[in-house]
Every structure is written in structure tokens, then in C-alpha cells.
A and B are shown apart, each in its own frame.
Chain A
């Protein structure tokens, strides 16, 4: 009979110790510092000083920052929905492609082999006024002025969807792969057309995959800063850029810390809501 006898629990502690050490030193402690900063005041030269205050949090309620926050939520939600819409057919195709499955899966993951920064720059070369798309269209005489493809919300959205599409495909593929084929046969047997089977059997049973994909995409998109920075230019400030600016150009670390923690709190609440709805999908 297995028991929690002393030697085994001691062994467990020994094996868990490195993980705990990393977690505490690289996550809990920095978060504590961020929390402390968020409650302090910015000195005239941009360093941290007393007194303790909640001002940094109350500043977040400023309509300007609320607008930035809502814009971030809106872009992250749009990116998530687009990823799910594009990812589902691809995942369905992958789950039904028999022997080629592994090849296609590798192709989905392949972009990860290159740095995300380089891939984002590649998009800039494609989208800018003198970029590949505009120069081809101009040469063909289809347009006379370059299309404004870069440095707008559309470009940011494109970049986010491009970056996070695999995070939709993989969880959806995992649930579709596990789907018992006899359920699809049973549906057809009971008279359902293929599209009815898709709506009434496949989609509902892929719900855990949709939830997992949504969490995996929405959360990083909400805090994304590289993509909006590079593809959005300076114009499209999202919450990630706002936080980044506080730590760099604005040198207002206390406010940056407060904004970071507020973002984390929102993400945490969303995550808990998702977990409550269908915990097993994420665990």
C-alpha cells in the first residue's frame, strides 16, 4: 500500500526544491518588488522614493488609460476570434489527414524555429510602402499610391493572428484528434448532413480545445507589446506599449508597475472564469 511515509515525502521535497527555488527567486520575489514599486512614488529624476501611495492605481482610472485598455481588450479579442476561425478548419484538416498528419503538424510549428522578432520584421518588409506587396501592385499598375498596410490596427491584428495561429491549431487539433469517429458516424446514421454533424457534434465536443486556445491566445495578446510596437508604429498604443513606455522613455516605474499588476489582475480574473466554466480543459 502506498503511503505518505517520511522517506518518500522527503524525496519529493528534494526533487521539488529546484522548481521552488526558481519559482520563488524569479517569480514571487520580482512580483513582490513590482508590487512595492507600484505603491511608491516617482522621484523628479525618475527613481523610486517614498512616500507610500495608491496614486498610481487611481491614475489608471484616467479615461486615456481606460481607452488604451479597452482598445487592447478589443484587439486581443479580435485576434483570438480570428485565430479560432482560421485555426479550426486547419485543425480539422490536420486531424483527418492520416499518415501526413505529422508532416503537417511540423509545418504548423516550423515558424517557431525562427526568432519571433525576425518574423515580425519580415512582415514589415512585406507590408511597408516600398515593401513586396505594394511594389508588386504598383508595378502591375493596379494601384498608383502605396496602400497603407503598415503602422495601423490592421497590421497589428495581422501580426498577432500570424503569431498566435499555432496556439489555436494545436489545442483544437488535440481535441479533434481524440474525438471518437463513431460519434460522427452515429450522427450521420441518425440523418445529420455533414454540416449538421459539424455544428451539432464536432463543434460542441471541441469546446475544451476552443477554451484552451482562447486562453492561450487572448492573454498574451492582451499584454503584447512587440507586435504593436513594430507593426503599429508609435501610433497604436496598447496596454503592453504603455507599460513598456513607463519603464523606458517615461521613466515612471511606479505607474508602470501599477499598470502591470492591474493587467495581471484582469488576466487572472478571466482565467479563473474560464477555469470555472471548464476546468478540465486547462489542467
Chain B
């Protein structure tokens, strides 16, 4: 079965810089695939290339095996949820949702399709509201409904949570994931927030400077990052003798541990209370700063304490470069 969405060596060069460089990936049906990277890494440009708002300088974009990269947006069966939602301000929620269905011949089941999708995003009763009468979360759900009613092959979401109140974000994130499971449409999710990407994605492509650094499941990317960039973008890393070590992989004790596990002597500089755990800022005997995170109950350390840091060799993050 061909992937719903496939990019083959897609590049996009703007005058003076390359926004996207040799990007390739496939997303099968029903997958929640994320493009993750810092701002300016090319993730939004990649999304716009798929949506048809930009055309690639080189490479191919395929939807269900068909080349679409030279088609205008209105001929591609993909739909975008814009970062600012881009709801039509002169139309009600219902008219916004109907917008894509009212072209030429109006489908006979328009009303029921619209009602169904408005119910799906829990906006029933708000059909007659205008965008300026709605909260950010409601606008986002209206934008989702407007796209989903067209049953696109791929739904493109450009930082859909960034415009929301931080308190809402986690809730909406979970709702988005549930919604994706229910409708079974491939979601392509663009974000710069690693926690967001890790928590909802089936797979993630980590982008940096226009290129994909690594594609994998959240677990693979976090536990087996292939590059230093991926390792440090997906979480904290301590760099010790050329390998990386996540703070939570480091154990801390007052006495040298028994056995042959790798160990460093260090001094506690600061103990930061994080609620469920304690973050210990230490300096190793060789002078490197090392941050460790330990369960709160294990952490009766204070600054100046001499400690032993140890870990399992399998937790070391090693890179070919």
C-alpha cells in the first residue's frame, strides 16, 4: 500500500537561502506525523509546500502515489489548519464549515455533514457565532471542522496549539490526538515544542537548518538520537567525554556504587526543587557541569556535598560524528 503522503528529495530555495533541503519522508494512512524543529528550520515551509502555497524548487510530493507538487492548493486533497486559524471573519461558524462544500454543485447531504463535523468538534449550539465571538480554543475547533468536513487525505496543522493559553494546551493536545484516532485521517503536525511532539506523535521528523536530522518514534528519538542536535533538542543532555547522558539517567549517591558501572566523582552546586523530583547541579572532578534529576525522596543533598554520579552504559547517547 503506498503511503498517503510522500516527499522525495524536496528542496525549496528562496533568493539567498535554502529553506528546505532534500527532505524525504512517508506518512501512512492514519498516522500522526510531526515535523519538529526550532523556528526557521524549514518545517512550516515544508507544510506550505505540501499545502500548495509554495512550489518546490526540486523534488516530488505525492498524495496516494500521485504527483501533486505542481498543482494549486485548490486541486490538492489536503487541508490546512492555519496557525492563526484563518477563519473567515464575515462568516458564521456554520458558513465557515460549509465554505469548502459550497463550490459549484452543493452536495445533497451538506446539512448533515456539517452538523456531524460540528458535533465532532463539540461546537454544537455555536453554529451562528462569528469568529470574533469565540475563544481561541473554539476558533481552533471551528478551523478543524472546516477542514475535516472535506475529508482530506492529509490534515496539515501549523503550530495549532501555539496561539492557545498555556493552560489549555495540554487539554487541547489530548483532544486533538483523540480526534485524529477517531477520524483516522493522516495528520501532519508542525511544532517547535518537543514535549508536544513527543506526547502526541506516532512518528516525528526532527528538522534543523532545512534538513531532516532523524525520523522515528518519540521513544527512538529520545532514547537513540542519531545526532547531537536531536539529542539536545528533545531534552536536556549532559556532555561527558564525548557522549551524552540525560539528567534522569544519572544516579546520585554518597558512596561509590558497587560493581563496575561507570562513575564520576562530583560536588553538588545547587539542589533545585521541581516538585516530584530534584534537579542537582553538580561539577564533576574533571570540572564539567553535570545536571542530574533524581526522585525527591532520594535527594537529601545540599550544596557542597561530595557525591558519586553513576549510570548504566546503555543509557549513554553515542554519535558517529
**Chain A contact residues, CB within 8 Å of chain B:** 180, 182-183, 185-193, 196, 200-201, 204-205, 207
Query: Shortest Cβ distance from A196 into chain B, in angstroms?
Result: 6
On whether the beta carbons of B79 and A189 are closer than 8 Å, the reply is yes
Chain A to chain B contacts (Cβ below 8 Å), 28 pairs: A180-B86, A182-B82, A183-B86, A183-B88, A185-B51, A185-B80, A185-B86, A186-B80, A186-B86, A186-B87, A188-B53, A188-B72, A189-B51, A189-B52, A189-B53, A189-B73, A189-B74, A189-B80, A190-B74, A190-B100, A190-B147, A190-B150, A191-B150, A192-B74, A192-B103, A193-B74, A204-B90, A205-B89
Given A200-B99, A205-B90, are A186 and B72 also a contact pair (CB < 8 Å)? Answer: no
Task: Compute how far the CA of A193 lies from the CA of B147 in the bound complex, rounded to whole angstroms.
Answer: 16
Given A196-B103, A200-B99, are A188 and B73 also a contact pair (CB < 8 Å)? Answer: yes
Q: Which A residues are in CB contact (< 8 Å) with B79?
A: 189-190
* Most chain B C-beta atoms within 10 Å of own C-beta, residue among A183, A191, A192, A204: A191
Task: Compute how far the CA of A76 lies from the CA of B90 in the bound complex, rounded to whole angstroms.
Answer: 29
Task: Compute how far the CA of A187 lies from the CA of B87 in the bound complex, rounded to whole angstroms.
Answer: 9
Q: Which A residues are in CB contact (< 8 Å) with B52?
A: 188-189
Given A185-B53, A191-B103, A192-B74, are A201 and B88 also a contact pair (CB < 8 Å)? Answer: yes
What's the dominant secondary structure at chain B's contact region?
Answer: loop
Chain B contact-residue range equals 20 to 34
The residue that B86 contacts in the complex, of A182, A192, A204, A205, with Cβ under 8 A, is A182
Q: Which A residues are in CB contact (< 8 Å) with B90?
A: 204-205, 207
The residue that A191 contacts in the complex, of B80, B86, B100, with Cβ under 8 A, is B100
Q: Which B residues are in CB contact (< 8 Å) with A191?
A: 74, 100, 103, 150
8 A Cβ contacts from B125-170 to A: 146-147, 150
**Chain B contact residues, CB within 8 Å of chain A:** 51-53, 72-74, 78-80, 82, 84, 86-90, 99-100, 103, 146-147, 150
The residue that A186 contacts in the complex, of B88, B103, B150, with Cβ under 8 A, is B88
Query: Shortest Cβ distance from A184 into chain B, in angstroms?
Result: 9
Query: Shortest Cβ distance from B81 into chain A, in angstroms?
Result: 9
Task: Compute how far the CA of A204 lies from the CA of B95 in the bound complex, rounded to whole angstroms.
Answer: 13
* Most chain B C-beta atoms within 10 Å of own C-beta, residue among A185, A186, A192, A207: A186
Task: Compute how far the CA of A44 lies from the CA of B84 in the bound complex, rounded to whole angstroms.
Answer: 72
Task: Compute how far the CA of A200 lies from the CA of B89 in the bound complex, rounded to whole angstroms.
Answer: 12
A180-B84, A192-B99 known, 18 other contacts, Cβ within 8 Å: A182-B82, A182-B86, A183-B86, A185-B82, A186-B80, A186-B86, A186-B88, A187-B88, A188-B53, A189-B78, A189-B79, A190-B74, A190-B99, A190-B150, A192-B74, A193-B74, A193-B103, A205-B88
Query: Shortest Cβ distance from B273 into chain A, in angstroms?
Result: 39
On whether the beta carbons of A182 and B74 are closer than 8 Å, the reply is no
Task: Compute how far the CA of A158 lies from the CA of B73 in the bound complex, rounded to whole angstroms.
Answer: 41
On whether the beta carbons of A188 and B74 are closer than 8 Å, the reply is yes
Task: Compute how far the CA of A201 lies from the CA of B91 in the bound complex, rounded to whole angstroms.
Answer: 9
Task: Compute how far the CA of A183 lies from the CA of B51 in the bound complex, rounded to whole angstroms.
Answer: 14
Q: Which B residues are in CB contact (< 8 Å) with A187?
A: 88, 99
Q: Which B residues are in CB contact (< 8 Å) with A189?
A: 51-53, 73-74, 78-80, 147
Given A188-B73, A189-B73, are A182 and B84 also a contact pair (CB < 8 Å)? Answer: yes
Closest 4 CB pairs of A and B: A190-B100, A186-B86, A182-B86, A188-B73
